[in-house]
Each structure stands twice: as structure tokens, then as C-alpha cells.
Amino acid sequence: MRTIGALIFPGFEILDLFGPLEMFGMLPDEFNARIIAQGHDPVASTQGPRTAVDVTTNNMQCCDLLLVPGGAGTRTEVHNGELLGWIKSVSAQAEIVMSVCTGSALLAQASVLDGKRATTNKRAFDWVCSQAPEVAWVRRARWVHDGNVYTSSGVSAGIDMSLAVISQLLVQETAEQVASWAEYQWNDDPGNDPFAT
């Protein structure tokens, strides 16, 4: 059983978070997800609905997999030194670190992506790149895997990325079965990015 620490903050993107969690959640004997935030109160997403918090960053200092979503709130959180410090600390211990969309800006600001290849949402690509020019940003990619870090492109790409992580940690056939259960057509080629042009 691996624990997934799913970070949320004001203005996170709903599908960035719950798309991947839906995939991992179909394997309850393998993965246990915990929603993490800096405070105890429910956190509002970019779209409005609030999500309850399981545990605060003060009370959860490690996890097997870390998931960082994007969303409009990342433009504020890139200046949140306390949160960035937590991301850096937890990432150093995690087996796998994942970001969706502009969540890669938070990983970049926390120095998690230093010297690595990474990608992000195409609509915010230039802004994210400006956060960490030392990162080897890849514009044409559904997701990028470098070391123990996975970064994915915009919103729905996080689902493809999470299936790739399942394939790595378990087997390809399990990821394919999860996609089938979800009636989802998995794009399992990280370089097949129809939104890059």
C-alpha cells in the first residue's frame, strides 16, 4: 500500500486533482490518497467547489507519492515560501513526485525540477518557464518522466500521467485495466501531444 499525498491550495484545478485520484482510487489495495492543505478548512477550487482536507502540511511530512495540481492559485502559491519548503522536503523523500498543469511551477520554485526535463500547460507555458529557466522545459509532451518526477501538460493530461505511474509501479496491463474501468482512452505515448501546436 502506497500513500498518495494530494496537495490542494486556494484556486487548485479540480480535474488536475481528481482525474489522477480517480485512476489511483480504482486500485484501493495499492494506493491510499490523503488530501493535504496548509489549513483544516475546506479549500475552494478554481471552479468554486470546496474540497475537505484530510491532514495539514504540519501533520504530514512524508508520503510515497506526492501529487501537486495546477490551477489559477499557483500564481499566488509560487510566492508561498512555507508551502514551497514543504514541497521540497516531502519531494526529497517521496518515491514518485507528480504535477499536473501549472503545478510544475510549484515544483520548479521548490527546486524539485532543477536540472530535470519537465512540461506544463501550454496556455501558461511561458509563465511557468519564467519561474525556473534552469529547468529543461519540453513544450511538446503529454507528460515528461525524469528520474522520480513526472510532470504533465494541461488538466486532462494528468490522467494519462497517472496511468503511466501505475504502469511503472505495477504493470502495463493494470494501467490498461484501470483505463478500461474508467471508460477512458489512455494516451500512453508521452510524446503524442495534440495540443502542442
| Residue of 62, 63, 101, 129 with catalytic role | 101
Predicted local distance difference test score (pLDDT) of residue 117? 97
Stated pTM of the model: 0.96
Helices (H), 94-181: 103-109, 125-131, 157-169, 172-181
Q: Is 101 a catalytic residue?
A: yes
pLDDT at 143 over 90: yes
Predicted local distance difference test score (pLDDT) of residue 155? 86
pLDDT at 197 over 80: no
Say if 13 falls within a structural domain.
Answer: yes
- Considering only CA atoms, which of 5, 152, 1 is closest in space to residue 91? 5
Give the confidence band of 154 by pLDDT, cuts at 50, 70, 90. Answer: confident
Across 84-103, average pLDDT: 97
Predicted local distance difference test score (pLDDT) of residue 49? 96
Residue 77: give the domain boundaries. Answer: 2-181
Predicted local distance difference test score (pLDDT) of residue 163? 98
Say if 188 falls within a structural domain.
Answer: no
All three cell numbers of 5: 499525498
Across 38-42, average pLDDT: 97
How many domains are there within the chain?
1
Across 32-60, average pLDDT: 96
Say if 194 falls within a structural domain.
Answer: no
Residue 112's CATH number = 3.40.50.880
Cβ-proximal residues to 88 (8 Å cutoff; 6+ apart), any chain: 110, 111, 112
Cα–Cα distance between 194 and 180 in angstroms, integer? 22
Across 159-175, average pLDDT: 97
Say if 76 falls within a structural domain.
Answer: yes
Say if 62 falls within a structural domain.
Answer: yes
Say if 36 falls within a structural domain.
Answer: yes
Predicted local distance difference test score (pLDDT) of residue 119? 96
Give the confidence band of 179 by pLDDT, cuts at 50, 70, 90. Answer: very high
Predicted local distance difference test score (pLDDT) of residue 93? 95
Say if 192 falls within a structural domain.
Answer: no
Q: Are the C-beta atoms of residues 102 and 74 closer than 8 Å to each other?
A: yes
Q: How many CB atoms lie within 10 A of CB 26?
A: 17
Say if 189 falls within a structural domain.
Answer: no
Residue with more model confidence, 142 or 195: 142
All three cell numbers of 85: 519548503
Q: Are the C-beta atoms of residues 162 and 23 closer than 8 Å to each other?
A: yes
